[in-house]
Amino acid sequence: MASRRFDIRQQTGFPTIALICFFLLYLPMALVVVFAFNAGTSIAIWEGFSLRWFQQAWNNEQVVSASIRSVQIASVAAVVATVAATMAALATTRTRNYRGLTFKYAFINQPLMVPEIVTAVALLIFFSRIKIATGYSGLGYLMIAHAAFCIPFAYLPIRARLENMDLSLETAAADLYATPWNVFRRVTLPLLWPGIIAGLMLAFVISLDDVVITEFVKSGGQDTLPTYMLGQLRRIVTPEINAISTVFLLISVGIVTIFFFISRKRD
């Protein structure tokens, strides 16, 4: 008699444990969203429904400037990280296995393995020397730091897509005398788009909500929205923070939804 295939969903207690995990994960988020619409100033006592905190955040110049700055940094960092990750993924998958390839995997994914605080301190020391030598203290340092940190996040989905792609189409194109560039442009890139989009969106979200590296690298007056929120939490907590967090959540859900429809269309 053939043994049944193992399925974790059929194990005793799995549905209960899964429901508990989902409850503990999403209950805090639900509370944040609910109290974003609180009419009072408390984040724990419901005093009626109101949109005052969303309006207050919208009219807060610091919130607006920090939001624009966050989007600018995240956009540049995501594009740079995705381009670099795409080239790295092609270089490490479209090649024969050789000594040192595993080391390259580990080197590319190094920011995932090293504590973020270590990376932040290293970037602080490195950029401080450059600031002294050049006198430049603009947003370029934050963009470079975020791009470097986001490369492995963009690299993983792109590499996974490349490894699961059928090589027969690329081989056929090469047999028909297509140049490597034409093979990449006509065959590899169209098939790779879902992975690139996934890497771009993941890098964008990671950069958008980063706090540790931003706190260490930024200069005066360069608060991003997460660092602004952290500063406000150290002073006084109002539902305005809940409103900002709710908008952040909606943006994340929107990005995931867009990626879902794009990937489904590509498939």
**What would the pLDDT profile of 227-249 be if each residue is shown by its tens digit?**
888 888 777 778 888 888 898 88
d(Cα 109, Cα 181) in Å, to the nearest integer? 27
Query: What pLDDT is recorded for position 267?
Result: 53
110: tokens are 């190094």
pLDDT tens profile 11-29: 777 888 888 988 888 888 8
DSSP state of 5: P
Residue with tokens 């969203």: 33
- The reported pTM is 0.82
Type of residue found at 63: V
Q: What is the mean pLDDT of residues 182-209?
A: 86
The CATH number of the structural domain formed by 61-266 is: 1.10.3720.10
d(Cα 224, Cα 213) in Å, to the nearest integer? 11
Letter string b/e over residues 214-245, b meaning 16 or more CB atoms within 10 A of that residue's CB: bbbbbeeebbbbbbbbeebeeeeebbbbbbbb
CA 219 vs CA 124, 152, 207, 223: distances in Å:
10, 25, 17, 8
